[in-house]
């Protein structure tokens, strides 16, 4: 993971994300939504073709080509929503731009200097780890346990405290 001056460790929720992308063209909304929901690297999103996308009535399955030694994963099920529906109508290469342009799209929609493209990856890994556990993170991303710790942000430790109280009650 790249080194940044300040790493954000608190997750971004969907409502805040949706508000930030609402005025963008639909192609950029779809690109950012893939990063947000799937937690993939910019290059993994840019490598997508229409052959990698399978749309059903409520789910869009996307087969990502994993990079940097990550284990290849099963197609990732993403919710079919207003931002991702655009993917279902595309033919050939989905996003016809370079990773630097992808980075600029992220930075324009999220100009806070501490928000970076890999933030969405960290955000999704933290969310899955907190909601489901690390085994799900491994299956979703294809990265090893050591890498999961590298990406994971802060989680709500109050839940642990409450679980301890529940345990002794």
> Which pLDDT value is given to residue 151?
64
Residues 88 and 140: their CA atoms lie apart, in Å, by: 21
In this prediction, residues 8-26 reach a mean pLDDT of: 84
Q: Identify whether 18 is part of a domain.
A: yes
Q: Identify whether 31 is part of a domain.
A: yes
In this prediction, residue 63 has a pLDDT band, given cuts at 50, 70 and 90, of very high
**Boundaries of domain holding 136:** 14-168
CATH number of the structural domain spanning residue 149: 1.10.443.10
Q: Identify whether 5 is part of a domain.
A: no
Residues 83 and 77: their CA atoms lie apart, in Å, by: 15
Rounded to 5°, angle at Cα 132 from 40 and 35: 15
Q: Identify the CA nearest to 2 among candidates 155, 139, 143, 151.
A: 151
Q: Identify whether 9 is part of a domain.
A: no
Q: How many domains does the chain have?
A: 1
Q: Identify the CA nearest to 153 among candidates 122, 124, 129.
A: 122
Q: Identify whether 91 is part of a domain.
A: yes
Q: Identify whether 3 is part of a domain.
A: no
Q: Identify whether 7 is part of a domain.
A: no
Q: Identify the CA nearest to 82 among candidates 54, 58, 61.
A: 58
Q: Identify whether 127 is part of a domain.
A: yes
pTM summary value? 0.79
């Amino acid at each position: 993971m790249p080194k940044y001056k300040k790493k954000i460790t608190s997750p971004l929720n969907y409502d805040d994300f949706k508000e930030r992308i609402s005025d963008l063209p639909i192609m950029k909304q779809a690109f950012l939504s893939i990063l947000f929901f799937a937690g993939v690297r910019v290059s993994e999103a840019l490598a997508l073709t229409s052959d990698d996308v399978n749309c059903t009535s409520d789910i869009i399955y996307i087969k990502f080509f994993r990079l940097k030694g990550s284990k290849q994963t099963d197609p990732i099920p993403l919710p079919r929503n207003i931002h991702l529906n655009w993917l279902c109508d595309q033919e050939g290469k989905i996003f016809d731009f370079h990773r630097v342009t992808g980075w600029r799209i992220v930075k324009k929609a999220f100009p806070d200097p501490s928000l970076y493209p890999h933030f969405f990856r960290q955000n999704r890994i933290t969310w899955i780890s907190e909601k489901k556990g690390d085994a799900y993170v491994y299956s979703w991303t294809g990265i090893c346990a050591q890498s999961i710790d590298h990406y994971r942000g802060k989680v709500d430790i109050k839940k642990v405290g409450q679980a301890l109280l529940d345990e002794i009650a």
